[in-house]
Structure 1
C-alpha cells in the first residue's frame, strides 16, 4: 500500500481521509487508530504526532465536514433567493445532498458522539451551519408581528430535526427501508405543512 501521508506531504490529512473511509464503511466505532494508520499507509506511532486518540481524529473529520456543510448551506441559501421560502427550501435539499455525497463526514458529525464543543474550531463552524437555517427562519417570519413571531432558533431546530429524520430513514440507503416518496418530496411537503401551521407561509388554495 502506498504511504499516502508521506507521498502527499500531508500525513494529518491522509489520516483524516483514511478515517472518513472507515467511518463510512464501519461506523465511528468500527475501527481503531492502528487500522486508520494502516489504511493511510503509515505506522500506528505516526498517528500520535497529530491526534491523541480516535476521538480527536473523528473530531477533525467532523470539523472538516461542518466546513463543507456550512459552505454548501450558505451557497444553497443564496442560490435560493430572491424569496425567503425558496432559500429555506434550498437549504433542506442541500442537507440531503450533503448526506449522500459525504457519508463519512455526515456520520462523524452526527452519529459519532463527538460533541460540537469538543474544541473551539468545531464549535465555531458547527454554529455557522446552524446560523444559515436560523437566518432563513428569521426572514420567513418578518411579516408576522414580533409578539406573535415564533423564535427563529426553534423553527430552525425543528426543520433541522425534520431534515435529519428524512436523511436517516430514507436518504442513506439503510437496509430494509424504502421511501414511499422521493426523500426531497418528503422533506419539502413536511416543511411546507410545518411552516403553514406556524403561519409563516400562506395556506394552499
Structure 2
C-alpha cells in the first residue's frame, strides 16, 4: 500500500482517504490513528484537530460512503425507468457495483459497527439511500390492490439483505467461498424468485 502523503491540501480529507485504504487492507479495527496519520504524511497529533478518535474518523468515511451509495442507487433507479421491474433490479446491481468499486467505504458503512444514528448527518444520508430502494419497491407493487399489497419497506429490506448476502459471500472474495455463477446472476435470479413468490411480477417476467 503506497503512502499517500499530505501536501498542504485538505488534511481532513487526506486522513479519511488514508483510513479508508487501511480499512480495506486491515479491516475497521485493524488500524490505529497513528497509522492513518502516517499514511496521510502527518503527525498523530494532527488527527485530533479534525477527529475525536478512530470511530469518529470511520464514521465520516461511512457518511461519505453513503453519499456515494445514495447517488449510485438513485442513478440506477432513474436509468432503469420507465419499467418498474428494471428500475428495481438496477438498484440491486448498483449495490454490487458499489461494494466492488468502494470497498473501504462499504466496510466502514456495513462492517465497522458504526451506528447510522451516530450523527444526524449520517442518519439522514443512510435514510436517503434506503429510500431509493423503497421507492423502487413502491413502484413495483402499484398494480396490486392496496389491501393485498406487501409493505414496500418490508420487501425492499429483504432485497437489501439479499444483496448484502451476495456481496459478503461471493462478490468480495470471501475465503473458501466461490460461486459457480456471477454475483449479478445470483442476485437477479434471487430477486426474480422472491418477487414472483410475492406475486409482484408474473411468472413469464
TM-score for the superposition, normalised by structure 1 = 0.97
- What does residue range 161-176 of structure 1 map to in structure 2 within 5 Å? 161-176=161-176
| SS of residue paired to 1:118 | coil
Query: Structure 2 CA distance, aligned partners of 1:52 and 1:181?
Result: 44
- Counterpart of 2:192 in structure 1 is 192
- Counterpart of 1:122 in structure 2 is 122
Q: Structure 1: where are the runs of 5+ without partners?
A: none
Query: Structure 1 CA distance, aligned partners of 2:195 and 2:73?
Result: 19
Query: Structure 2 CA distance, aligned partners of 1:2 and 1:125?
Result: 28
Where in structure 1 do 4 or more consecutive aligned residues deviate above 2 Å?
Answer: none
**Preserved CA contact (<8 Å) 2:4 2:18:** no
Q: Structure 2: where are the runs of 5+ without partners?
A: none
1:103 matches 2:98: no
Deviation of the 1:8 alpha carbon: 4.5
1:77 matches 2:64: no
1:131 matches 2:131: yes
Query: Structure 2 CA distance, aligned partners of 1:53 and 1:161?
Result: 30
Query: Structure 2 CA distance, aligned partners of 1:201 and 1:8?
Result: 55
- The total of aligned residue pairs comes to 203
- What does residue range 5-44 of structure 1 map to in structure 2 within 5 Å? 7-44=7-44
Query: Structure 1 CA distance, aligned partners of 2:36 and 2:197?
Result: 48
| SS of residue paired to 1:177 | coil
Deviation of the 1:173 alpha carbon: 1.1
Query: Structure 1 CA distance, aligned partners of 2:106 and 2:159?
Result: 17
Of 56-65 and 175-184, deviating more is: 175-184
TM-superposition CA deviations, 1:59-107 (whole Å, max 9, x none): 0000000000000000000001110000000011100000000000000
Deviation of the 1:2 alpha carbon: 6.7
- Counterpart of 1:89 in structure 2 is 89
Query: Structure 2 CA distance, aligned partners of 1:9 and 1:105?
Result: 21
- Counterpart of 1:155 in structure 2 is 155
Query: Structure 2 CA distance, aligned partners of 1:90 and 1:168?
Result: 19
Deviation of the 1:204 alpha carbon: 2.9
Query: Structure 2 CA distance, aligned partners of 1:55 and 1:194?
Result: 37
Deviation of the 1:177 alpha carbon: 1.3
